[in-house]
């Protein structure tokens, strides 16, 4: 009997196509949810959600917990010089490059329990499922839990593009410098360059994540197949008028920076919504000077950003906005000045990976939608190394970066299974697909 | 010879009508400007202008300097329990109520050398001129240098309406409580109620002031005859939307408090400028929450105010603005909440005093304009006691509350002479006018 089992296992390892004869392999969604709940204890807030900000005690404790899960899943775990957790599982074909999966477990202050965590724990679950079913993949598998994703994607930048070491000196939200934070997580900031990988060195990077928007939830769809991660351009805009007494300055003698700024906000909205597409544009902060009830503001500064998958469209919108701002300025006796920054270029996902993800979802009987990711993800940094794919599950009410962030257990299970099916699909030799 | 002079002086005192045979009496504008320059040393800023904030050392030193000028002008000087400087000159008819003139010498932080100072020193000059020419008035004359006018009109409120003693506990811009400040200037805060005067106890209050706006300057006019001091209503407006991710929230699913606020600012401007009149409306400060590039603002708070001579018009505009805000809110998935305050009711000047001021200017060959005061003045508090009148001189470029505040010497001389002629006009028996 023992001999037969060994022979069968050997057959499975040697011949993945033979798996189709087995009952379909399933990731254990309930276990992912149990692990999510356990992880949510690290940095738990009394009012719900977590504050597991990168480089805090809660972050490190959470990472140690996940490291334990990774070891339980049979992964060989190490911490790279950037402080990323890397879990490795050997493949059967030493000529093949690794398939990499993962996400992050750090949160924004007063964040939720799903952003990053769902993808991280589903990646660990994938390894655990393979292990429990004694399934070998042809490609090596790597599960990476990136460090300090929120806001700055530090760990994935170190792996993907390579980190500008000047950023080690910046102070992170934890209060620690990035250098101290990386060391705190077990990295080696002085050797952080060694964590960078060579372009072309990965077979694919696949990340499961909550949508963080309300599209899937509103349209009652189960899986988002991500077309790409939008590029972001932002600008600090300064509107210069002339400050004057709000009582003694007649309306027709004003150079009211507030009125010009208001017209700018409205114009930006009109430009962004005036063309078909899913581009977004936002004015997120604003400040008036001197900023008193009884003074016509002489200067208003505000922060705007534009996002789209198409970098040219973003530039075109920016140009139109600048041109229309000049017109608003002239009409209001004010001037506009832009300090524009390219925060990130669009990172498109690989069409082949999109197809494998879509096909995997379909085989699981799940509805899908091809959609952009409006938020940044570690995947965009991994795009420097090879093809990327992303899987979204619904965020109830579109809420994210908040204690009320929520994804349903069945959606988490669906996501974990699409991830599993996608990775196994990629692992199959071309002729087997 | 000595006898003749005495007889002549007696004649002048006994018979004001006899003055018309004399060369016209003139205030010494050059001396007013010299005193202005001397006063500007107290609290002088290296970059120009003064910071002579009420209750600071500079304020007290400046008041002591002016007290000296008042004594030199033959005034009997006292400090009332509110800390106001009161200079008295007896009249010839003990049945008559005092004609009161004056202004303030405290400044805003980084203010100019003209706001309040021109009227204060011209009032002292008037007493000095009368003294030098041995002219007696029928009415008693009082020159009052009010304390802490800027922002709160504390001294004039204590005299006019009576001060709510709770305000003694508030902390003034000097860092001192009002109680300590009043004591610092020589007042007696525990007996501040005694500074309040009885309605009907003054013949008139006349205040010369710089316009603080650009109307006279732009229209090349010399004297403003003030119709009244505008009433002010303000409100803190809270726009509630829903904060959400600026990348993942499609444009048509946003509850963008910033966009609703921008539409509000534009609407307020349209309402205020959409009807004929000189009413003004301003949004002077604004704040977005959470206030980051990458978050659609969930809440915007802003400060608005409306001013006009007609209280009903202000209320009508407020009602229209509230109604239109509701429409904007509904269209933008946001709500508007108003915390409205009546800061001051309009204070109309007395038509008879307007006529005397206008006639006085005309006799001096000066051009005039009937105009509202968009800024608040001590005169509005003195209106609780009797008829008020105000004289404006041009502010170059309309600048005020700034180091570059400037009024030309010839305009200051004109103002001082209109003040003198107006007071003498009021002092004349009705049949002599």
CB contact under 8 A, B400 and A245: yes
pLDDT of residue A22: 65
Q: What is the mean pLDDT of chain A?
A: 93
Q: What is the pLDDT of residues A45-57, one digit of tens each?
A: 998 999 999 999 9
Nearest to A213 among B250, B292, B295 (CB): B250
Asked if the peptide bond before residue A29 counts as cis, ω within 30 degrees of 0, the response is no
Q: How many CB atoms lie within 10 A of CB A63?
A: 25
Given the structure tokens 């004056």, which residue do they identify?
Answer: B102
CA separation for the pair B162, B151 (Å, rounded): 17
Q: Nearest to residue A206, comparing CAs of A361, A338, A68?
A: A361
Give the ipTM of the model, two decimals please. 0.85
In the block, tokens 């009987």 appear at A365
Per-residue confidence band for B1, with pLDDT thresholds at 50, 70 and 90: very low
Contact B291 A280 (CB under 8 A): no
The 3-state DSSP composition of chain A as helix, strand, coil percent (nearest 5) reads 40, 25, 35
Question: Average pLDDT of B221-227?
Answer: 98
Could you give the 3-state DSSP secondary structure of residue A395? coil
* B315-360 pLDDT per residue, tens: 999 999 999 999 999 999 999 999 999 888 999 999 999 999 999 9
Report whether pLDDT(B226) > 70.
yes
Q: Mind telling me how many Å the CA of B190 is from chain A's nearest CA?
A: 32
Largest pairwise CA distance in chain A: 98
Under the banding of pLDDT at 50, 70 and 90, the label for residue B15 is: very low
Residue B295 CB contacts under 8 Å (≥ 6 apart), including other chains: A282, A284, A401, B243, B244, B245, B246
Q: How far does A86 lie from chain B, in Å, by closest CA?
A: 29
Residue B348 to residue B223: CA distance in whole angstroms: 18
Is residue B94 classed as helix, strand or coil in its secondary structure?
coil
pLDDT attached to residue B142 = 98
For B313, counting Cβ atoms within 10 Å of its Cβ (0-12 exposed, 13-18 middle, 19+ buried), the class is middle
Q: Which of B265, B272, B293 sits opposite A303 (nearest CB)?
A: B293
Distance CA A238, CA B354 (A): 44
Read off the pTM. 0.85
Question: A246, B214: Cβ pair inside 8 Å?
Answer: no
Contact B269 A261 (CB under 8 A): no
Write down the architecture of domain B16-229+346-432 according to CATH. Answer: 3-Layer(aba) Sandwich (3.40)
Mode of pairing for the β-strands spanning B244-245 and A244-245: unpaired
Residue A164 DSSP SS3:
coil
Q: What is the mean pLDDT of residues B55-68?
A: 98
Give the pLDDT mean for B239-249: 93
- Residues with Cβ within 8 Å of residue A151, at least 6 apart in sequence: A108, A173
What is the tens place of the pLDDT at every residue in B135-184? Answer: 999 999 999 999 999 978 999 999 999 999 999 999 999 999 999 999 99
- Closest CB from B244, B273, B307 relative to A247: B307
Q: How confident is the model at residue A402 (pLDDT cuts 50, 70, 90)?
A: confident
Give SS3 for A142: strand
Q: A431 pLDDT exceeds 60?
A: no
* CB < 8 Å to B262, chain A: 261-266, 283
Q: Over range B26-46, report the average pLDDT.
A: 97
The whole-angstrom separation of Cα A338 and Cα B283 is: 23
Q: Which residue in the set B230, B246, B249 is minimally distant from A398, CB to CB?
A: B249
Q: In degrees to the nearest 10, what's the CA dihedral of B30, B36, B39, B44? A: -130
* pLDDT score at B5: 43
Instruction: For B394, name the nearest residue in chain A, comparing CA atoms only.
Output: A248
The pLDDT tens digits for A104-155 are: 999 998 899 999 999 999 999 999 999 999 999 999 999 999 999 996 899 9
Distance, CA of A107 to CA of A111 (rounded, Å): 6
Residue A211, number of CB atoms within 10 A of its CB: 28
Q: Characterize the bridge pairing of strands B99-104 and B204-210.
A: parallel
Q: What percent of chain A is modeled with pLDDT above 90?
A: 88
**Integer CA distances (angstroms), B251 to A268, A274, A376, B247, B297, in order:** 12, 11, 18, 10, 13
Q: Which residues of A touch B265 (CB under 8 A)?
A: 258-259, 261-262
Half-sphere exposure of B153 (CA within 13 A, CB side): 18
Provide the token pair at B303. 């400060």
Tokens read off for B265: 């600012």
Tell me the pLDDT band of B47, cut-offs 50, 70 and 90.
confident
Beta carbons of A401 and B245 less than 8 Å apart: yes
pLDDT tier at B118, thresholds 50, 70, 90 = very high
The tally of CA atoms less than 13 A away on the side-chain side of residue B47 is: 8
Q: Give the rounded distance of the alpha carbon of B89 from its chain centre.
A: 24
Predicted confidence at residue B431, as pLDDT, reads 57
CATH topology of domain A20-229+347-432: Aminopeptidase (3.40.630)
Do B284 and A262 count as a contact with CB atoms less than 8 A apart? no
In this complex, do B291 and A278 lie within 8 Å of one another by their Cβ atoms?
no
Residue B17 pLDDT: 45
> Of the candidates A258, A300, A400, which has its C-beta nearest B248's C-beta?
A400
Least reliable range by pLDDT among A3-7, A396-400, B128-132, B307-311: A3-7
At the topology level of CATH, where does B232-343 sit? Alpha-Beta Plaits (3.30.70)
pLDDT band at B22 (very low <50, low <70, confident <90, very high): low
DSSP string, B51-64: ---TTSHHHHHHHH
Tens digit of each residue's pLDDT (9 = 90 or more) over A359-391: 999 999 999 999 999 999 999 999 999 999 999
3-state helix, strand, coil in chain B (%, to 5): 40, 25, 35
- Helix B29-39 to helix B117-132 angle, to the nearest 10 degrees? 130
List chain B domain ranges: 16-229+346-432, 232-343
The predicted structure's pLDDT at residue A152: 86
What confidence score (pLDDT) does residue A261 get? 98
Residue A21 confidence (pLDDT): 56
Structure tokens at A322: 């600048």
pLDDT score recorded for residue A6: 43
SS3 A229: strand
* pLDDT tier, B24 (very low <50, low <70, confident <90, very high otherwise): confident
pLDDT given for residue A24 in this prediction: 86
B265 to A259: CB separation less than 8 angstroms, yes or no: yes
Report the percent of chain A where pLDDT is more than 70: 94
Distance from CA of residue B107 to its chain's centroid?
A: 12
The residue-averaged pLDDT of A314-333 equals: 97
What are all long-range contacts of B271-274, with beta carbons under 8 Å and residues at least 24 apart? B271/B317, B271/B320, B271/B321, B271/B324, B272/A251, B272/B306, B272/B317, B273/A251, B273/A252
Q: Are strands B223-229 and B368-373 parallel, antiparallel or unpaired?
A: parallel
CB pairs under 8 A between A and B: 210
- CA triplet B58, B63, B65: central angle to 5 degrees? 95
Quick check: B9 pLDDT over 50? no
| Closest chain A residue by Cα to residue B288 | A285
pLDDT at A177: 96
- State the Cα angle at B428 between B423 and B429, rounded to 5°: 145
Express as a percent the part of chain B with pLDDT over 90. Answer: 88
> Among the listed ranges A195-204, B9-18, B71-80, which one has the minimum average pLDDT value?
B9-18
Q: Each residue of A14-71: pLDDT tens digit?
A: 444 444 456 789 999 999 999 999 999 999 999 899 999 999 999 999 999 999 999 9
Where does residue B19 rank: exposed (0-12), middle (13-18), buried (19+ CB within 10 A)? middle
Among partner residues A246, A258, A401, which is closest to B265 by beta-carbon distance?
A: A258
Pairing assessment for the beta strands B388-393 and B204-210 based on DSSP bridges: parallel
Rounded alpha-carbon distances, angstroms, from residue B58 to A294, B63, B109, B136, B174: 25, 9, 12, 34, 11
| Cis peptide leading into residue B22 (ω within 30°) | no
Could you tell me which CATH number the domain at A235-344 has? 3.30.70.360
pLDDT of the residue at B402: 86
Closest Cα in chain A to B297: A284
Find where tokens 């004010």 sit.
A334
Are B178 and B106 contacting, i.e. CB atoms less than 8 angstroms apart?
no
Are B251 and A263 an interchain contact pair (Cβ–Cβ within 8 Å)?
A: no
């Amino acid at each position: 009997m023992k001999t037969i089992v060994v022979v069968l296992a050997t057959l499975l390892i040697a011949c993945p196509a033979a798996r189709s004869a087995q009952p379909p392999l399933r990731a254990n969604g309930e276990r992912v949810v149990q692990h999510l709940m356990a992880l949510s204890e690290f940095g738990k807030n009394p009012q719900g959600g977590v504050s597991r900000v990168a480089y805090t005690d809660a972050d490190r404790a959470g990472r140690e917990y996940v490291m334990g899960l990774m070891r339980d899943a049979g992964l060989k775990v190490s911490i790279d010089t950037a402080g990323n957790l890397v879990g490795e599982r050997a493949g059967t074909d030493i000529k093949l490059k690794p398939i990499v999966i993962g996400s992050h477990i750090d949160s924004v202050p007063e964040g939720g329990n799903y952003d990053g965590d769902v993808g991280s724990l589903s990646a660990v679950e994938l390894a655990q499922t393979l292990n429990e079913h004694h399934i070998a993949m042809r490609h090596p598998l790597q599960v990476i839990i990136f460090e300090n994703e929120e806001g700055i994607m530090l760990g994935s930048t170190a792996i993907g593009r390579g980190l500008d070491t000047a950023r080690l000196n910046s102070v992170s939200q934890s209060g620690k410098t990035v250098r101290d934070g990386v060391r705190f997580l077990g990295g080696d900031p002085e050797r952080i360059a060694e964590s960078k990988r060579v372009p072309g060195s990965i077979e694919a990077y696949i990340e499961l994540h909550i949508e963080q928007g309300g599209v899937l939830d509103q349209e009652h769809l189960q899986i988002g197949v991500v077309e790409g991660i939008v590029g972001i351009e932002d600008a600090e805009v300064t509107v210069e008028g002339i400050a004057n007494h709000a009582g003694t300055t007649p309306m027709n003698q004003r150079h009211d920076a507030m009125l010009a700024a208001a017209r700018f906000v409205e114009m930006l909205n009109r430009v962004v919504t005036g063309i078909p597409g899913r581009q977004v544009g936002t004015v997120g902060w604003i400040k008036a000077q001197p900023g008193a009830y009884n003074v016509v503001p002489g200067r208003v500064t505000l922060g705007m950003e534009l996002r789209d998958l198409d970098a040219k469209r973003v530039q075109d919108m920016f140009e139109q906005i600048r041109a229309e701002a000049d017109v608003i300025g002239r009409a209001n006796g004010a001037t506009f000045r832009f300090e524009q920054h390219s925060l990130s270029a669009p990172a498109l996902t690989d069409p082949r990976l999109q197809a494998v993800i879509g096909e995997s979802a379909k085989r699981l009987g799940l509805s899908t939608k091809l959609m952009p990711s409006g938020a940044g993800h570690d995947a965009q940094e991994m795009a420097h190394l090879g093809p990327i794919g992303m899987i979204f599950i619904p965020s109830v009410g579109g809420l994210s970066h908040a204690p009320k962030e929520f994804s349903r257990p069945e959606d988490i299970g669906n996501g974990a299974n699409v991830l599993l099916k996608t990775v196994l699909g990629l692992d199959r030799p071309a002729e087997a697909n």
